[in-house]
A and B are shown apart, each in its own frame.
Chain A
Amino acid sequence: MSTILMEKDLETGVWPEWFDQSGAIQEYESAPRPTRKDEAWRFANISALDLSQFQAAPAPSNEGRLITASSGLEKFSAKMVFANNTLIHEEAPQLPNEVLFLPLEVAAREHAALFRKYFMAQPVELGSHKFAALHKGKVTSGAFLHVPANTEVALPVEIFHWVEGAHSSVFPHTLIICGENSRVTVVDRFQSADGLKAFACGVNDLHLAPGARLTYVAVQDWSRDSLAFHLNSTIVDAQATSTALTANFGGGFLRGESLSRLVGEGSRSEMYSINPVEGTREIDQRTLQDHLAPNATSDLLYLNALDDASRTIFSGLIKVQPGAHGTDAYQKVRNLILSDEADPNSMPGLEILNDEVRCSHGATNGPISNEELFYLQARGIPRETGCRLIVNGFFNALLQKIADPALRDYLEGLLAKRLVLGGTPQK
């Protein structure tokens, strides 16, 4: 299971000495492999986790093409483009001077105190600590964004992570640190350059100081047979609001873990996810809404549309710690079932150690409404197009939570395009 680890570049030299990659690799090696007996891996297709076929990614073959393809929003404040773990392009046309937007390894050298305080600072506790260790052991670059207190970044920051080549391995990393009362929007895109099977093991960590406002959107569009881990933690301090939306368009086996820790009074974390799945693809998502502070709100809504023999697993927990009175927590997964063979698994959960709380959680499964479909068909829209419109609408309703109209339009466009392409690998 460990061929990619035995290859070159264990010590890449990009990191300061204190950044202990060999220790991380040892941690990876010694951590037990997940089994289905682990609660955190219940229902998961463990056999998909075989890493032996993957190898170190080669240097990107055509940087120019990928830079051109990394055109996202019409207006943005700054952009970084990574291909096969290497930064190939950066620009910052509209970024306030005081904002740090740096390659991760540069931040480690030049802003060591900040970096060490925030880099993978939260224990990975939703099942993939082994793969988090692998990430730390192999990461060579990534995006580091620090928005100082009282700074507003008006236009979104864009990050593109490309993977290229059969069986390549990438370790994308995004670390966002929002100072007090700062405001920023980040769009993180994960793309396959060639539609070939690849391995991605990514981490994105979001830190919000009191009063900060962060909108973070991740659009994952790896090839349809790739193996991917995306591990997230979000720490929200007093009166800060994080809106995080993840769209999983690709991946043959995707493991997503998302932890929101509400550490300050009146903090708010919104956790949204859009998952169209078809073929034999599997999306396995584990979440934790950890309420430590009083009067905090968390709102989780995950939408899955399952076609063919696809599978989804959702396991979520709302945890209300003893001091967290006045908690308002919601957790909901909705599965739109498009095929008899589809296999949705939902395990919503609550653990409340406090009386004065409002919590609700639930999961629903249902097919496309015949009445809705009839209505569309009665206007001349063919059945298949009507179904696609309804699926599009099912997800689109969640995109309306994005306040910025330009960003919302952009995401609506990506979604519509994805649903037209369906499960076919993109180029």
Chain B
Amino acid sequence: MSLHIENLHANIGDREILRGLNLEIPKGEVHAIMGKNGSGKSTLAKVMAGHPDYEVTKGTVTLDGLALLDLEEPDERARAGLFVAFQYPMEVPGVSIANFIRAARQAALPEDAELDAVEYYQDLYVKMDALKIPRNFTSRAVNEGFSGGEKKRCEILQLAMLAPKYAVLDETDSGLDIDALKIVSDGVNALRSPDRGFLVITHYQRLLDYIVPDVVHVMVNGQIVLSGDKELALKLEAEGYDWVEKETLATA
């Protein structure tokens, strides 16, 4: 059981961003992808989620044996068990957090099943409290006027409420101060489980002090060029990415 990406190529317009990416995240593990700006990290997250601006030209993504890219619509992929916490979550004016997450939970149920509203709110409040999100956020419009930290906490709230099989966290640490980083990391760590895989995308090592990965991958030019353990992240932090690029060029 894994989230398995094989030889993935994807374009935006005429520009190829992902150039034969291979990666496998076994269920129960936390993998991290590090890489410079522009290496294609966020593209990978959006491509898997099914963002309409990107075109997959080659390759497969397999989620516990299911061909994820055969599902055209982003909602089908989400219901298959993939969750992406976005780097820049969208504002949705006039749609409250409570109604948004409720619609998402309802969508996960069989067609004729009705969500239990009381149970839903109890669950929502417990998870909001854990993430130190004030209760009055339930009636606020999704991400509208939220600070960077509030947006990220709200993404993790959605992750907790939807309990996916695999979660991709795209730059979840950006815009967070150290307190917020701890809250968000605690939230993620609480969701670590043998039944769930994580892919944590970041370009700072800092996050990985809090969410300790099993495997660290380095992404350069739309490919995974190097994989290792937590030590690799520390080395990247100390020495930058130039040596990786040189080694990659030398072996290419």
Contact = CB atoms under 8 A, between A and B. Distances in A.
B78 A379 contact: yes
Contacts of A376: 75, 92, 100, 103-104
B79 interface: yes
Interface of B: 49-52, 73-75, 77-79, 83-84, 86, 89-96, 99-101, 103-104, 107-108, 141, 158, 162
Given A381-B103, A394-B94, A375 B89 contact: yes
B92 A375 contact: yes
A414 to B, nearest CB: 15
Nearest to A386: B75
B94 A381 contact: no
A395 B89 CA distance: 21
A160 to B, nearest CB: 27
Contacts, number: 88
Contact of A375 (B90, B141, B162): B90
A390 B92 contact: yes
A215 B158 CA distance: 37
Contact of B73 (A379, A383, A390, A392): A383
B100 A377 contact: no
A379 B90 contact: no
A377 B74 contact: yes
A393 interface: yes
B95 A378 contact: no
Nearest to A398: B94
A415 B117 CA distance: 19
Query: In the complex, which of the residues B90, B96, B101 has the most CB atoms of chain A within 10 Å of its own CB atom?
Result: B90
State the 3 A-B residue pairs at the shortest beta-carbon distance, nearest first.
A393-B94, A396-B94, A397-B94
A87 interface: no
A383 B74 CA distance: 9
A397 B78 contact: no
Contacts of B108: 380
A374 interface: yes
Contacts of B49: 374, 378
A2 B94 CA distance: 45
B52 A397 contact: no
Nearest to B143: A375
A155 interface: no
A380 B75 contact: yes
A98 interface: no
Contacts of B50: 374, 377-378
Contacts of A381: 75, 103-104, 107
Given A380-B108, A380-B162, A381-B107, A374 B74 contact: yes
B53 to A, nearest CB: 8
Given A376-B75, A383-B75, A396-B96, 19 more contacts: A369-B90, A372-B90, A374-B90, A375-B86, A375-B90, A376-B92, A377-B74, A378-B74, A379-B100, A379-B103, A380-B75, A382-B73, A382-B75, A383-B73, A385-B103, A386-B75, A394-B93, A394-B94, A397-B141
30 contacts: A369-B90, A370-B52, A372-B92, A374-B90, A376-B104, A377-B50, A377-B74, A378-B49, A378-B50, A378-B74, A378-B75, A378-B78, A379-B75, A379-B83, A379-B101, A379-B103, A379-B162, A380-B78, A380-B79, A380-B107, A382-B73, A383-B73, A385-B107, A390-B92, A393-B92, A393-B93, A394-B93, A396-B95, A397-B94, A400-B94
B85 to A, nearest CB: 10
Interface residues of A, number: 26
A389 interface: yes
A385 B75 CA distance: 11
A371 interface: yes
A374 B162 CA distance: 17
B51 A374 contact: yes
A34 to B, nearest CB: 35
Query: In the complex, which of the residues A393, A394, A395 has the most CB atoms of chain B within 10 Å of its own CB atom?
Result: A393
B86 to A, nearest CB: 7
Contacts of B74: 374, 377-378
A386 B78 CA distance: 14
A397 B93 contact: yes
Contacts of A380: 75, 78-79, 104, 107-108, 162
A374 B51 CA distance: 7
A376 B105 CA distance: 12
Contacts of B78: 377-380
Interface in A356-388: 369-372, 374-383, 385-386
Contacts of A383: 73, 75
A400 B144 CA distance: 13
Interface string A389-427: 110111111101000000000000000000000000000
A390 B95 contact: yes
Nearest to A375: B90
Nearest to A391: B94
A378 B168 CA distance: 12
B103 A389 contact: yes
B166 to A, nearest CB: 13
A377 B104 CA distance: 9
Contacts of A396: 94-96
A386 to B, nearest CB: 7
A376 B51 CA distance: 11
Nearest to B159: A379
A402 B52 CA distance: 37
Contacts of B73: 377, 382-383
Contacts of A400: 94
B133 to A, nearest CB: 17
A17 B84 CA distance: 73
A389 B94 CA distance: 9
B107 A382 contact: yes
A14 B46 CA distance: 69
A270 B91 CA distance: 26
Contacts of B92: 372, 375-376, 389-390, 393
A393 B141 contact: yes
